[in-house]
Amino acid sequence: MRKMRKIAINTGGGDAPGLNAVIRAATLAAIENGFEVWGIRHGYRGLLDHEPGGLVHLDRDRVRGIGHLGGTILGTVNRGDPFHYPTRIEGQTELQPVDRSAELVARFKELGFEALIAVGGDGSQKIAHRLMKAGLPRVIGVPKTIDNDVIGTEVTFGFDTAVSIATEAIDRLHTTAESHDRVLVVEVMGRHAGWIALRSGLAGGADAILIPEIPFRYEAIAAKIAQREARGRKFAIVVVAEGAAPAGGSIAVKDKGDVFRGTAVLGGIAQQVEKELARRTNKECRSISLGHLLRGGGPTTFDRQLALRFGAAAVRFLTDTTDSGVVAISGDTINLCSFEIVTSGTKFVPADCDTVKTARLMGICFGDERPEHYFAA
């Protein structure tokens, strides 16, 4: 098989703990295979903006000691889609979306890159796939997101870290909730999937877990709180996913997004739940959003290892095959999944999955129960 000489790697979309471990593993594996590796700064900006330092030569020294660090040494952006690239046009005050994909592909080839390792979530993989169709020679995607919502891979790195941080926060909130006999509503990220809320809610011993996949009713949660009260438990913890919504209601949105970003910024549901529960339970309620705390800092050991394996596997697929696609894990095997599958939608929590069943068996409320269920208990 023909050996490639020069490859590039970038990180796009929201960051996730483990990105630096991917960069380290991919770089070391590529160098071991005789390749030169370059990092593109801030998604594709390093190729399009012609700023000094837009491309970083990744050698052994550059990736030394970064495996345990959070963030990404390459930087990342949410508004950097080359097909709608924010571009200054003379005479216009606002940046305009311009299709710069052809320019990007030409620059990539001129620089002698033969493949791109694109580390990002489903949005970034969609862009990478489009760029491949537009002429990038080869692309290996590496899926990343704390949300764990990427189809084709059982898990993404960043998820375990986010769940661990959320669980620790819920543990801490328990003691203060109990001291004050309060209801504490904790909002966690996850976009339209409830994985983080479900796993951290179960691990942290939440009394109610509200996820986008199961529309909830306030009456059911209030009944659960009343049931606890009757049992002498004067406090409660409600974990709510940012994308969860009451039955017949709508998702709480902070910012609708724009032509550059594409997706909305979610947030604010915990405050709504706080208000509604205060009204219905007569208890003191408080809400907190864990937000970007779940993305900051270094990866857990699990995420670090997964990220290192994904990074090395990306290079293995480049050297051992002629295919493009996205690295994915199934059991203990790392496969190359097609871009079509990975970008076909969102991996939601199945409402009848084992974790939901376990939580229900333990009496955790999902907000879809009939209130009588709790009053009768």
Active site (catalytic) residues: 147
User: Judged by CB under 6 A, which of 42, 199, 295, 304 binds ligand F6P?
Assistant: 295
**Of residues 312, 335, 376, the one with CA closest to residue 119:** 312
Instruction: Between 14 and 46, name the residue whose CB sits nearer to ligand F6P.
Output: 14
User: Judged by CB under 6 A, which of 27, 145, 164, 227 binds ligand F6P?
Assistant: 145
In this chain, which stretch among 26-34, 133-141, 186-194, 299-307 interacts with ligand F6P, using CB under 6 A?
186-194
Residues in the chain: 377
Residue 75 interacts with ligand F6P (CB under 6 A): yes or no? no
Cross-strand bridge partners of residue 238: 185, 208
CB of 295 to ligand F6P, least distance (A): 5
User: Judged by CB under 6 A, which of 116, 185, 266, 318 binds ligand F6P?
Assistant: 266
The answer to whether the beta carbons of residues 126 and 263 sit under 8 Å apart is no
In this chain, which stretch among 65-73, 144-152, 205-213, 299-307 interacts with ligand F6P, using CB under 6 A?
144-152
Decide the pairing of beta strands 36-40 and 6-11: parallel
CB of 70 to ligand F6P, least distance (A): 13
Residue 190 interacts with ligand F6P (CB under 6 A): yes or no? yes
The answer to whether the beta carbons of residues 62 and 27 sit under 8 Å apart is yes
User: Judged by CB under 6 A, which of 100, 126, 138, 191 binds ligand F6P?
Assistant: 191
User: Judged by CB under 6 A, which of 265, 278, 293, 341 binds ligand F6P?
Assistant: 265
User: Judged by CB under 6 A, which of 8, 10, 11, 14 binds ligand F6P?
Assistant: 14
Number of residue whose CB is nearest ligand F6P: 189
Q: Extract the tokens encoding 145.
A: 């997101």
What is the DSSP-derived secondary structure letter of residue 365? B
Q: Extract the tokens encoding 107.
A: 């620059």
Residue 49 parent element (H or E)? none
In this chain, which stretch among 27-35, 163-171, 185-193, 221-229 interacts with ligand F6P, using CB under 6 A?
185-193
**Of residues 265, 168, 251, 182, the one with CA closest to residue 215:** 251
The answer to whether the beta carbons of residues 200 and 170 sit under 8 Å apart is yes
The answer to whether the beta carbons of residues 253 and 152 sit under 8 Å apart is no
Residue 153 interacts with ligand F6P (CB under 6 A): yes or no? no
Most distant pair of Cα atoms in the chain: their distance? 72
CB of 120 to ligand F6P, least distance (A): 10
Residue 146 interacts with ligand F6P (CB under 6 A): yes or no? yes
Phi, psi at 113, each rounded to 5°:
-75, 135
Q: Tokens 């991996």 map to which residue?
A: 347
In this chain, which stretch among 129-137, 165-173, 187-195, 354-362 interacts with ligand F6P, using CB under 6 A?
187-195
CB of 299 to ligand F6P, least distance (A): 15
Burial class (CB in 10 A: 0-12, 13-18, 19+), 256: exposed
Instruction: Between 14 and 325, name the residue whose CB sits nearer to ligand F6P.
Output: 14
Binding site for ligand F6P (CB under 6 A): 14, 78, 121, 145-147, 189-191, 242, 265-266, 295
